[in-house]
Amino acid sequence: MMSSVTRPERVTPYKLPDDGTFPNSSLPLLAYQSAVEDKVDDLAVTFEQLFQANRWGGSWRNGIYSFRHYHSNVHEVLGIARGQAHVEFGGPRGEALELTAGDAVVIPAGVSHFNLGASADLLVIGAYPKGGVPDLCRDSLAEREAALARLPLVSIPTTDPVYGAIGPLTRAWT
């Protein structure tokens, strides 16, 4: 059953293949446009509760780093609780997306992400399947080699962070 705070699924998948610098992933990045009703009292709390209810934990509040980075040991979801951001995914030859309050994006392990610019009031809620703890990899060959060994060990989540057991992630990542 869909939560009263979530909207009907409007999810766009993006394939971001290995570019020689960033491993990226064979799993698609999933961009959820207006995933959460933006008129709720506190979008930050709404995202935190939604992610936790769908077994994505270890949540945090912050922005998005202004340098290219990725996580090689865990997938990540970002929920935009306030403001807007222009974010590059997959490296310089990847995709640049505009994210606004109420949007969410699921980033597969290995996919580079980078804040190209954001409003001063940007607030992002992040979380990981089962509350995983991410590493932080950048664009170095040594980190890439180590990441390539870790990436195949990252398991597919059993739930979608926004829609639960029968959400877009569970269909797109099988």
User: 74-86: string of b/e by CB count within 10 Å (b at 16+)?
Assistant: bbbbbbbbbbbbe
Average pLDDT on 15-37 reads 96
Beta strand 84-89 pairing with 113-118? antiparallel
Counting runs of H as helices and runs of E as strands, what totals does the chain give?
3, 9
| pLDDT for residue 40 | 78
Q: Is the pLDDT reported for residue 41 higher than 60?
A: yes
- Token representation of residue 29: 């990045």
Contact 31, 97 (CB under 8 A): yes
% of the chain surpassing 90 pLDDT:
90
CA distance 159 to 115: 27
Backbone phi, psi, residue 140, to 5°: -115, 150
pLDDT tens digits, one per residue of 69-118 = 999 999 999 999 999 999 999 999 999 999 999 999 999 999 999 999 99
Closest CA to 161 of 153, 169, 152, 151: 169
| pLDDT for residue 3 | 55
CATH code that applies to domain 11-172: 2.60.120.10
Q: Is the pLDDT reported for residue 4 higher than 70?
A: no
